[in-house]
Amino acid sequence: MKPTILDGREVSASLRSSLQEECKELVEKGHQPGLAVVLVGNNQASRTYVNMKKKAAEALGFHFELIELPEETSEVELLTIVEQYNRLQHIDGILVQLPLPEHIHEQRVIEAISPDKDVDGFHPVNVGRLSIGLPGLKSCTPYGIMKMLEYYGVDLEGKNAVIVGRSNIVGKPMAQLLLQENATVTIAHSRTQNLSAVTKQADVLISAVGVKGLITKNHVKPGAVVVDVGMNRDEEGKLCGDVEYNELLSLVSAITPVPGGVGPMTITMLLNNTIEAARHRLLTSAYS
């Protein structure tokens, strides 16, 4: 049987049309959702990502502000700007595009963003809230994967979920989200012994590593659902994931392509988080 292709573009389009409606409702109530993105320095990839975020936010009807700062901006200057944006009532979400220049301590900047405006979901308060099952802003990529699994009706209850990769932005929050849906969760990483024996236990396998060709048919149980977060370049410079997609097609029950799988979901969830942040602020005293 042919596997289901988990199409991130389709899920994104569906979510974005609901978000556009929600944005309209907020505007009718007198508040246009506002997203501020801070870009420090001249990293071309970062600039491309920021432009994609701007386009997506404006297409939905958000207010968008881009704060462009030179490479030599000091940490104190950046922290001061973040503080200013924390106080601005028309801004619901603040995102500082990573990576930052080496002289700036990323974690200090992440922690300076108000948790209520932390639309990347990286602030320790939001990470902690996720880990104890309280509402909060969630990391966009794993949150997007959950939305995609939900859209395609992938049942997680009691299933073995294996995540390869333990980063703070993908692997660890992914584990928390799967656990909340009652999956039995295993996290593998670079020190894991006999990776294929671990991944073969997976009903749902998520690879978030960044190594082309890491996951082959020898790593996957027949009928598994495979989600490929990896973003790598092949010999011709084309975007590819961690997973040997073609050789898995005849083995799995569902799989994400790269490109067109997880990637499109990440920006969509940034928009989703901005709406969540706006709604939360409208309901709490922080917003008056």
Residue ranges at the known binding site for NADP(+): 165-167
What distance in Å separates the CA atoms of residue 248 and residue 278, rounded to the nearest whole number? 41
The number of C-alpha atoms within 13 Å of 110 and in the hemisphere containing its C-beta is 18
Confirm whether 120 is a catalytic residue. yes
Of 26 and 248, the one with the shorter C-beta distance to ligand NDP is 248
> Counting Cβ atoms within 10 Å, is residue 18 exposed (0-12), middle (13-18) or buried (19+)?
exposed
Q: Tell me the β-bridge partners of 63.
A: 34
What distance in Å separates the CA atoms of residue 195 and residue 242, rounded to the nearest whole number? 14
For residue 57, the one-letter residue type is A
Nearest approach, Cβ of residue 31 and ligand NDP (Å): 28
Q: Which residues bind ligand NDP (CB under 6 A)?
A: 141, 164-167, 169-171, 188-192, 195, 208-211, 214, 229-232, 262-263, 266
Of 91 and 140, the one with the shorter C-beta distance to ligand NDP is 140
Of 5 and 69, the one with the shorter C-beta distance to ligand NDP is 5
Return the residue matching tokens 């928390």: 176
Sheet arrangement for strand 93-96: 63-69, 34-40, 93-96
Show binding-site residues. Answer: 165-167
Sheet arrangement for strand 204-207: 4-5, 254-255, 225-228, 204-207, 160-164, 184-188
Which candidate, 203, 136, 194, places its Cα nearest to that of 163? 203
Of 120 and 276, the one with the shorter C-beta distance to ligand NDP is 120
Return the residue matching tokens 């082309």: 212
Confirm whether 212 is a catalytic residue. no
- Find out whether 141 and 262 touch, Cβ atoms under 8 Å: yes
The β-bridge relationship of strands 254-255 and 239-240 is unpaired
Identified catalytic residue from 92, 97, 172, 176: 97
Identified catalytic residue from 92, 116, 118, 120: 120
Nearest approach, Cβ of residue 77 and ligand NDP (Å): 27
Of 47 and 63, the one with the shorter C-beta distance to ligand NDP is 47
Nearest approach, Cβ of residue 106 and ligand NDP (Å): 12
Phi, psi for 280 (deg, rounded to 5): -60, -45
Confirm whether 203 is a catalytic residue. no
Residue numbers annotated as active site = 53, 97, 120
